[in-house]
Amino acid sequence: MINDVYPNRREEKNKFYYGNNFLMMLKGKIANFYVSFPNSKEWKDIIFKGNIENVNDNFTLIRDVNSNKLILVCNNFIDYIVFE
């Protein structure tokens, strides 16, 4: 019923889930994640390169290619992703 009153809300939600589903299909692929933290001087812009381990609504889990460490990235801070 709420979607009948606010039809655009359904479209926004579908676009969000499309992005997550797209990343889940590429699980195990190597990608460069370009991330910005606007309130930080040390970590303003950073690039994480690694395998996509898992994706959910709020976070993406990446395994660093060089160090084999797991990196948990908040999806809100991801600017864009380049796949290899």
| Domains assigned to the chain | 2-83 (2.30.30.100)
pLDDT in the model for residue 49: 96
Burial class (CB in 10 A: 0-12, 13-18, 19+), 20: middle
Who wins on pLDDT, 12 or 20? 20
- Please compute the mean of the pLDDT values over residues 76-80 and round it to a whole number: 90
State pLDDT tens for residues 26-76.
899 999 999 998 888 888 899 999 999 999 888 999 999 999 999 999 988
pLDDT above 50: residue 2: no
pLDDT of residue 1: 44
The DSSP line for 51-74 is: EEEEE-SSEEEEEETTT--EEEEE
Single out the residue of 83, 64, 80, 61 nearest to residue 72, CA to CA.
61
Q: Which ranges in the chain belong to alpha helices (H)?
A: 2-5, 7-25
The enclosing H or E element of 75 equals: none
pLDDT band at 17 (very low <50, low <70, confident <90, very high): low
